[in-house]
Structure 1
Amino acid sequence: MAGTLGPGARARAAAMLLRLALDQRLDDFWRKIAPGMTRNAKHRMLCLEEYTDRETARRWRLTWSALSGVCHHRVSELPPVPTEIHTRLLEVNALLDALDRAPADTVTTRVPAPGLPAGRTTAPAPSACAPPPRGPRTAPSIPKPAPPPGHGAVPAAPPATGNP
């Protein structure tokens, strides 16, 4: 039959539908907390950790990224196999359930605007992600990687002179 899709096209279509389900549920989640978050796709996932547990946020990003990679057709890559799509389906269902079980108090919690620091005369811009209050949280310092040996900065060329 000329009108049927091959297994690769069906698998990519299923991956697109699974990713769409994640996107729509995340939009619904953010509409309850901060309606402006539905306009910025990247921040929606980055701020999710502040409203759910770390593991759910990590799994959400990994699953969304994997599905996004499958959705983009690349000639040099094989399409996903049905078992991979089935595994992603199970993961998406688990993630949707986990987001439904997010603590109800985070939906109604609003963080008050911070006071002005000493010497500041204007209020800071509102944050895209206002997490519920938690204990102090510090991120580990990650050093900036240095260039490999022998690949340092290229010295500037000497200024050109008028003599040939």
Structure 2
Amino acid sequence: MSASPETLVTAADCLLRPTPGTVHSLAPGLRARAAAVLLRMALDQALDAYWRRVTPSMTLIGKHRMLCLEWYAGQDTARRCRTTWSALSAACHYRACELPPAPAEIRTRLLEVTGLLAALGTATVTGPTP
């Protein structure tokens, strides 16, 4: 069973802004990294759903779907998608010599993913744009 992109974004938001009075068993950096993983999963699922609507064969190779997005969804959406996906990927990886991502940085990415979910969900394309 897989959660919808919207559910993943909501779960990431709960990790970044836990309810007051909750006992925090995870450090803020660890919660931010977990939220980044959820946000990247949400973005991946939104991209898969977008390509299933446009051309199902594009969901097979992740690199192709990112490269071709510019021609189908527009330059701005493609640029935002690449930038956000790359930043979230970097935040997901654990490196012993680096600090974990800041919760404020991941909150910014959460807003960007929310915007991209809307952009990819409402984009109706009949073919590549010149």
TM-score range, shorter chain: 0.7 to 0.9
* Structure 1 position 133, deviation (Å): 5.5
2:128 pairs, out of 122, 127, 132, with 132
Question: Is structure 2 residue 122 aligned with structure 1 residue 101?
Answer: yes
Question: Is structure 2 residue 82 aligned with structure 1 residue 72?
Answer: no
1:28 pairs, out of 49, 57, 64, with 49
Q: 1:48 corresponds to which letter in structure 2?
A: L
Whether the 8 Å CA contact 2:72–2:129 is kept in 1: the answer is no
5 Å-filtered alignment, 1:1-164, equals: 4-102=25-123, 104=124, 106=125, 109=126, 132=128, 134=130
Question: Which structure carries more relative contact order (alpha carbon 8 Å, separation 6+)?
Answer: 2
**Identity of matched residues, %:** 62
- Residue 44 of structure 1 aligns to a residue whose secondary structure is helix
TM-score normalised per structure 1: 0.61
Whether the 8 Å CA contact 2:46–2:121 is kept in 1: the answer is no
Structure 2 residue runs of 5 or longer lacking an equivalent are 1-23
Distance across 2 between alignment mates of 1:37 and 1:98: 18
- Residue 73 of structure 2 aligns to a residue whose secondary structure is coil
Q: Per residue, is there more helix in 1 or in 2? A: 2
Number of aligned positions between the proteins: 107
